[in-house]
Structures are given as C-alpha cells and as structure tokens.
Amino acid sequence: MGKPRIEIVFRKGKPTSAFFHLREGSSGKTGRQIPIRPTFVAHYDDAGHPSGLEVPLPLVASAWMVNDALRELGGSPVDEVDLAPLRSL
C-alpha cells in the first residue's frame, strides 16, 4: 500500500483538518467515525473497513503519533516532510 493521500478540509475559508485517505477507489462516504486518539478520528466505510484518518489543523501531533494511528488503521506511514506543510496552516 502506498502513502495515504492527504486532503485539506476548509470551513469558511480556513483549514480545519487534514484527512488521510487510506484506500483509493473507495466511495468516499464515511459510514462511521470513531475517536482513536485525542483529536484524531478514524473513518470507516459502510462495510466497516478503515477509509481514513482525520487530524485537526494546524498539526501539532508528532509524526510518530500520526504514523501510529495510520498503522492501527492499516495505512502506510508518512514522513515528517509530508507533514511539514500541515504544521504551517
């Protein structure tokens, strides 16, 4: 599995969260959301498979914390350089 695709979610023109898509080709619909870490939310599709990880912006969590949550959901880890732009939003 490749690195997750990162999507920035905006509300009223301001970035509020980043969404790490774990599976390409899924419907994009979330069937259920479950908090798995302080401020992290796991998203599952209607079949119960993990579809993504939502984290608040600006990102203050360490790369280790993000990668630990991604691994828990079956995703591939990301590098610190991948997270750097999320820290400045």
Q: What is the pLDDT of residues 38-82, one digit of tens each?
A: 899 999 998 899 999 999 998 888 999 999 999 999 999 999 998
With the C-alpha atoms ordered 70, 74, 78, 84, is the resulting torsion angle positive or negative?
negative
Query: How buried is 27 (Cβ within 10 angstroms: 0-12 exposed, 13-18 middle, 19+ buried)?
Result: exposed
- What pLDDT shows up at residue 88? 82
CA distance 69 to 76: 10
Residue 17 domain boundaries: 6-87
Q: Is residue 30 part of a domain?
A: yes
Q: Count up the domains in the chain and report the number.
A: 1
Q: Is residue 1 part of a domain?
A: no
Q: Is residue 82 part of a domain?
A: yes
pLDDT digits (tens, 9 = 90+) for 4-40: 889 999 999 999 999 999 987 655 677 899 999 889 9
- What pLDDT shows up at residue 25? 62
Please, what is the average pLDDT of the chain? Answer: 89
This model's pTM is above 0.95: no
Q: Is residue 71 part of a domain?
A: yes
CA distance 62 to 11: 24
Torsion of CA 9, 43, 56, 38, to 10 degrees: 170
Q: Is residue 19 part of a domain?
A: yes
- What pLDDT shows up at residue 73? 95
